């Protein structure tokens, strides 16, 4: 599913293409994706306004406008697609292809049409994305890309949850998903089941450095699927550093892979 790097790529598309274009029409007829709004409510609120800024915290995005704030969540398979006047498309978000050809908009769940004829689409095959006005982003924790060492130590200092579960807690740290968490723990050589209250200061500092490295690497390379530990997350997979067979378990409710030699 989209994690912080994929959502950042979608935000960048919004920032580059969707701002400062008057909104002429809105298709908000998908009652599931646009809940709790009734059909036409988002349209009535946005037509005639202009988007002014594209923001992200963790996996959530929102667009400031000359009217209400527009929140967009990609769900598990969503991507943002901008279609220009000639029909050329630029997308950002999840890296799935699923055989989708340009111009194939059958999975579009929400769209904006701008006054110049360009369009912005939320394309989401699994229909798990979300569009809403004035989203409650204040409940999210610090963004995983920008979190300071002090904020990170505070996020890991409460309770005795497994460290992987805490990394996945969006109210503690916004943006980390399953693949990113496994990469961070592997880079830092920390076992995913270690209770957060048992971590040393050196381990917490290593985790913070690993988080910054993993996030920036995934953003630069096109998504969390490019992270170095991902190909090893399978039966028969080996640690990319020491070639020990990777081990699998469920931690924090998620399938987890780690190196038993380097992450004891």
Rounded distance, CA 221 to CA 158, Å? Answer: 33
End-to-end, the C-alpha distance of the chain in Å comes to 28
Report the b/e string of 210-242 with b at 16+ CB within 10 A: bbbebbebbbeeebbbbbebbebbeeebebeee
Q: Which residue(s) pair with 81 in the sheet?
A: 91, 121
Catalytic residues: 2-3, 59, 254
Distances (CA, A) of 60 to 86, 104, 227: 30, 25, 21
Rounded distance, CA 83 to CA 87, Å? Answer: 5
């Amino acid at each position: 599913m989209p994690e912080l790097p994929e959502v950042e790529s979608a935000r960048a598309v919004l920032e580059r293409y969707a701002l400062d274009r008057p909104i002429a029409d809105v298709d908000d007829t998908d009652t599931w994706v646009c809940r709790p709004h009734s059909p036409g409510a988002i349209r009535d609120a946005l037509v005639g306004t202009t988007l002014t800024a594209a923001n992200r915290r963790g996996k959530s995005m929102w667009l400031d406008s000359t009217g209400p704030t527009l929140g967009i969540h990609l769900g598990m398979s969503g991507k943002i697609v901008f279609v220009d006047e000639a029909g050329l498309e630029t997308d950002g978000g999840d890296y799935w292809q699923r055989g989708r050809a340009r111009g194939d908009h059958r999975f579009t769940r929400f769209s904006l049409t701008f006054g110049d004829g360009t369009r912005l689409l939320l394309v989401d095959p699994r229909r798990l994305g979300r569009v809403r006005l004035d989203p409650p982003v204040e409940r999210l924790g610090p963004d995983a890309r920008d979190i300071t060492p002090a904020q990170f130590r505070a996020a890991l200092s409460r309770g005795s949850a497994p460290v992987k579960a805490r990394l996945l807690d969006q109210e503690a740290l916004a943006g980390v998903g399953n693949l990113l968490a496994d990469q961070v723990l592997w880079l830092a050589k920390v076992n995913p089941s270690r209770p957060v209250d048992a971590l040393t200061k050196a381990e917490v500092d290593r985790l913070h450095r690993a988080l910054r490295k993993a996030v920036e690497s995934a953003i630069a390379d096109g998504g969390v699927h490019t992270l170095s530990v991902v190909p090893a997350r399978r039966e028969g997979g080996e640690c990319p550093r020491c070639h020990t067979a990777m081990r699998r378990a469920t931690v924090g409710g998620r399938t987890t892979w780690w190196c038993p030699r380097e992450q004891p």
